[in-house]
Amino acid sequence: MHADAFDRYHHGDGPLHRLDPRIKVVVTVLFILSNALLPDGAWSAFGLAWLAVLLANAASELGIDFTFRRSFIAIPFMLAAVSSIFSPFGQPLAEWTLGPIQLIPTDVGLVKFGSILLRSWLSVQAGLLLVAVTPFPDLIHAFEHLRVPAVLTTIIAFLYRYLFVLTDEVMRLLRARQSRSAALPGQKSGRSVFWRAKVTGNMAGQLFLRSYERSDRIYNAMLARGYSGQLRTMRAHVLRGRDWLVFAASVFILLLVQLIGRLG
């Protein structure tokens, strides 16, 4: 089973690993919300928020640049906001003509685009750090403690758990396809594009049927073992004094970020 296909948890015993998962989830959500509420062009506040991320990286004992090295994978998605450069407000900086389309970047649009990039980049780093220092089952139980609807947490938990199983099913189907489309040396394996599309469709159908049958067997097995709609854990989560201290310090830093963002 490809258990590492989606799991990004890094085992460790750092201060962030030992922190209660509810505190980590709440602080991460507040951090992302704080970034979203910062005004455009609040560079000092964005810098302070990044400093907080670096300090959290150091506390995780995974390396101060742990999230920095992994956050660039999200940049192509952040570039979806490139249209904000051409804001109708502000002073024009240039004028580009692409056939019948006239593009005019402005200073206000450029500031807005940079702010969107920083917000997204910092938020991605916070999310990466959260899943790196918190086992996924602990995240699910943290959601339950925070009163996230049980149906939603159960669906997420089972989706995560059986993505590994589905990955193995897909790997077996791909190996079966390769073994049936072998070719002589120097020849291209497989057939036409339509043949490949037909085979891919058949594979998707088989994967759906296998998933449906497996889900029925799993559900019956769970009922036989006393499943009542609630996920249980052997690791009880108890809030301690250090958890509340970290939470208070995090809220103070986020309030300071907001203050600097509005006065800077």
Residue 176 shares a structural domain with residue 155: yes
Residue 130 shares a structural domain with residue 256: yes
Is a pLDDT exceeding 50 seen at residue 1? Answer: no
List, for residues 6-62, the tens digit of each pLDDT value: 556 677 777 888 888 899 999 999 999 999 999 988 899 999 999 999 999 888 888
pLDDT, averaged across the chain: 80
Percent of the chain with pLDDT over 90: 18
What average pLDDT score do residues 147-164 get?
Answer: 79
CB-neighbour burial class of residue 133 (10 A; exposed 0-12, middle 13-18, buried 19+): buried
In this prediction the pTM is: 0.75
The b/e string for 162-182 (b: 16+ C-beta within 10 A; e otherwise) is eebeeeebeeebeeebeeeee
List, for residues 231-258, the tens digit of each pLDDT value: 666 666 778 888 899 999 999 999 999 9
Is a pLDDT exceeding 80 seen at residue 179? Answer: no
Give the model's pLDDT for residue 126. 92
In angstroms, rounded to a whole number, what is the distance separating the alpha carbons of residues 224 and 170?
29
Please measure the distance between the N-terminal and C-terminal CA atoms of the chain and give it in whole angstroms.
52
Note whether residue 8 is domain-resident.
Answer: no
The whole domain housing 155 covers 150-180+191-224
In angstroms, rounded to a whole number, what is the distance separating the alpha carbons of residues 141 and 128?
19
Residue 141 shares a structural domain with residue 85: yes
Residue 166 shares a structural domain with residue 243: no
Residue 69 shares a structural domain with residue 104: yes
Residue 132 shares a structural domain with residue 208: no
- Residue 3 vs residues 33, 93, 105, 140, 258: alpha-carbon distances, Å: 32, 51, 47, 18, 40
Residue 110 shares a structural domain with residue 30: yes
Note whether residue 185 is domain-resident.
Answer: no
Q: Which residues contact 117 (CB under 8 A, 6 or more apart)?
A: 75, 78, 81
CB atoms < 10 A from the CB of 45, how many? 23
In angstroms, rounded to a whole number, what is the distance separating the alpha carbons of residues 211 and 233?
26
Give the model's pLDDT for residue 196. 72
Residue 130 shares a structural domain with residue 204: no
- Higher pLDDT: 193 or 148? It is 148
CB atoms < 10 A from the CB of 146, how many? 13
Note whether residue 195 is domain-resident.
Answer: yes
Note whether residue 208 is domain-resident.
Answer: yes
In angstroms, rounded to a whole number, what is the distance separating the alpha carbons of residues 11 and 16?
11
Residue 216 shares a structural domain with residue 247: no
Question: Do 53 and 67 form a contact (C-beta atoms < 8 A)?
Answer: yes
- Higher pLDDT: 255 or 76? It is 255
What average pLDDT score do residues 94-122 get?
Answer: 81
Amino acid at 55: L
Note whether residue 98 is domain-resident.
Answer: yes
CB-neighbour burial class of residue 137 (10 A; exposed 0-12, middle 13-18, buried 19+): middle
